[in-house]
Amino acid sequence: MATGQKVAENMLWGGRFTQGLDPLMVKYNNSLPFDRLFYAQDIAGSIAFARANLNGGILTKEEFAKIEQGFAQIKEEWRTDSFVIQENDEDIHTANERRLSEIIGKEIGGKLHTGRSRNEQVATDMRLWLREELKQIEVWLQDLIKVSVGRAEAELDVLMPGYTHLQKAQPVRWSHWLLSHATAFSFELERLREVIKRVNRSPLGCGALAGNPFKIDREAMAKELGFEGLLYNSMNAVADRDFVFETLQWGSSLMLKISRWAEDLIIYSCLEFGFVRLSDAYSTGSSLMPQKKNADSLELLRGKSGRAFGHMAGLYCTIKGLPTTYNKDLQESVEPLIDHIRTVGDSLQIATGVLSTLTINADKMFAALAPEMLATEFADYLVRKGVPFREGHHISGRVVALAEDKGVPMDKLSLEQLKGIDSRFGDDVITCLDYERAVELKDASGGTSKSAVKEQIEILKKQLGA
């Protein structure tokens, strides 16, 4: 008998096949190299299903006990990497059931799959695995926000240029920059918690597509597995990959924000800026130029975001034209999901490591402030004297123009020169050139004054439960 034919006969679906499989097709079809990651979830789902069949009279207590004991041994084999994979183990479900029958006998092992389909099984395994992975990612995301908040508290006095269009705009606090990204990450934390809720729904007990004929208690299985609810349409339950879509969408959104955060730090760490210096643990050197210290950790974070976007876009293209219900194309949702979770999880830990170990150069940040960044302060000064803002904006523009014409920074203009531009400038107009004052005036909620920044810190702490 040809090897391909033997393999087909030993598959869970192989009874009606009389011709062998192309050996390349066997390999092409095999998902065990990656879905073996779900071994514990597959075993937990199988035990819950067997218990439900026990309660439904399909299994006896003795049969269930043997199934449970057999799976305990199988789980330990996977854990210790002693599980011996056979040629016909095309996926984790097949491998576990085959091994169970070897341990407890085919007569009892063959009853395990009564009323169950791999269509529901893979969806259950993926959801169970993903739920726990997302909970861990939630912890890592909280860590990144906590480090941001901690540094914002500790380095509250540091001033730096704020940029628009990558040009110096207005002075801000370094803490305000930190919290701008921490706030963006906090929005992703909110979304992640919603994603976890939708992932945590059970498809188990829906069969191949039409449901279960043995009056199985789906609620009991869901409760045993820690699901918060059921998927109520069996056709939808086995075909649904929205939980994968949404995870990839969420992860792509988070990675986009991590990428922008990394880009800022790449700029701030270069010699032209010198605002921050990365720890050696998150930097590399040049093979040619010994003076180089490259922000490879940040560049990789920026690059990994493209990888994450690719996971999402690829799965959309795979699934967009599939007919109802299960199709083998859905197997292509597993590998990108696994790699996406690994990419996002690793990226969060690297980002937290970078931020917790980098050092700042407060003197360089302050030295980078330029008097021209205070131009708006002159307009605001006039507004407080009753001048319409548009007129004040025009007058402050003339201050900038005069400084440019004289070839001097704005803070080198004399009081007489300023009064010559507009008589409403009083002797106190010089205070407009104080960076600390300019920052502290932005004290409305969301601003960069100390009080506003402290308010943001408390809001983020509350969200984190700190």
What letter would DSSP give residue 320?
A: T
CB atoms near residue 446 (< 10 Å) = 12
CA distance 464 to 466: 5
Give the three-state DSSP class for 294.
strand
Q: Name the token pair of 131.
A: 């739920």
112, 67 contact by CB (below 8 A)? yes
Catalytic residue among 180, 279, 286, 347: 286
- What does 101-124 look like in DSSP terms, one character per residue? HHHH-HHHHTTTTTT--HHHHHHH
Q: Is 305 a catalytic residue?
A: no
Alpha helical stretches, state H, 155-233 = 174-199, 218-224
CB atoms near residue 412 (< 10 Å) = 12
Query: Counting beta carbons within 10 angstroms of the beta carbon of residue 353, is it exposed (0 to 12), middle (13 to 18) or buried (19 or more)?
Result: middle
Query: Counting beta carbons within 10 angstroms of the beta carbon of residue 294, is it exposed (0 to 12), middle (13 to 18) or buried (19 or more)?
Result: middle
Please give the torsion angle defined by the CA atoms of residues 216, 217, 219 and 224, in that order, rounded to the nearest 10 degrees: -100
Give the three-state DSSP class for 169.
strand
Query: In the beta sheet, which residues pair with residue 160?
Result: 172
CA distance 76 to 318: 36
Give the three-state DSSP class for 339.
helix
| Run of H or E residues at 167 | strand 167-173
CB-based burial, 255-276: b 16+ in 10 Å, e otherwise: bbebbebbebbbbbbeeebbbb
247, 197 contact by CB (below 8 A)? no
CB within 8 Å of 29: residues ≥ 6 apart: 21, 90, 328
Q: Is 165 a catalytic residue?
A: yes
Please give the torsion angle defined by the CA atoms of residues 101, 104, 105 and 109, in that order, rounded to the nearest 10 degrees: -50
CA distance 353 to 388: 49
Catalytic residue among 165, 287, 423, 445: 165
145, 464 contact by CB (below 8 A)? yes
Residues with a catalytic annotation lie at 165, 286
